[in-house]
């Protein structure tokens, strides 16, 4: 039986560290352009989203908070975006439901998070098809991506099962 995500999930520092150590690949926009010919692209983070859009990448789902650590320019609200709240260190039910809706209804969307968007990668892995690439920024390093596959989905389900009490 598949795990059910039906409430806010507060993550421990140990689990957040585990998530940060997921196997990922550092990428350039050109790498993502190539991947976008074969995979659905999801972008998490304002700088990453803007960078991919500026390079013409078709982004299926954007998850942003309109703020960046580096304050590189201003990020604007886009009309029609789904607004959710997500406190730091938490994956809120609002965020989970917005991601689930976008991915299960196969509907290109933009989610604007009031709070922290970084942990959106977890419910994205949980709900995304296996033909999905999640692109996100790593502070002071650059852009990285994860290809959703069975192994990483199983890892996420185990992590969520451990905290889903």
pLDDT digits (tens, 9 = 90+) for 61-100: 999 998 876 555 567 888 889 999 999 889 999 999 999 9
Binding residues: 46-47, 65, 117, 140
Kindly state whether residue 4 falls inside one of the protein's structural domains: no
Kindly state whether residue 35 falls inside one of the protein's structural domains: yes
Q: Please state the domain count of the chain.
A: 1
Q: How far is residue 92's CA from residue 27's CA, in Å, rounded to a whole number? A: 29
Binding residues for GTP: 46-47, 65, 117, 140
pLDDT digits (tens, 9 = 90+) for 24-75: 889 999 999 999 999 999 999 999 999 999 999 999 999 999 887 655 556 7
Residue 117: strand, helix, or coil: coil
Kindly state whether residue 149 falls inside one of the protein's structural domains: yes
- For the whole model, what pTM was predicted? 0.89
Kindly state whether residue 2 falls inside one of the protein's structural domains: no
Pairing of β 40-44 and β 132-138: parallel
Two structure tokens written together for 59: 């982004």
Kindly state whether residue 3 falls inside one of the protein's structural domains: no
124: exposed, middle or buried (Cβ count in 10 Å: 0-12, 13-18, 19+): buried
Kindly state whether residue 54 falls inside one of the protein's structural domains: yes
């Amino acid at each position: 039986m598949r795990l059910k995500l039906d409430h806010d999930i507060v993550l421990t520092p140990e689990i957040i560290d585990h998530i940060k150590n997921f196997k990922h690949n550092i990428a350039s926009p050109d790498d993502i352009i190539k991947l976008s010919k074969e995979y659905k692209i999801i972008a998490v983070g304002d700088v990453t989203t803007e960078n991919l859009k500026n390079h013409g990448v078709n982004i299926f789902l954007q998850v942003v908070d309109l703020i960046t650590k580096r304050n590189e320019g201003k990020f604007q609200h886009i009309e029609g975006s789904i607004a959710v709240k997500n406190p730091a260190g938490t994956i809120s039910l609002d965020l989970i439901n917005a991601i689930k809706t976008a991915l299960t209804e196969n509907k290109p969307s933009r989610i604007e998070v009031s709070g922290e968007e970084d942990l959106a990668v977890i419910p994205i892995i949980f709900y995304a098809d296996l033909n999905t690439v999640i692109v996100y920024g790593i502070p002071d390093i650059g852009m990285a991506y994860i290809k959703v596959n069975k192994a990483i989905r199983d890892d996420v389900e185990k992590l969520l099962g451990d905290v889903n009490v």
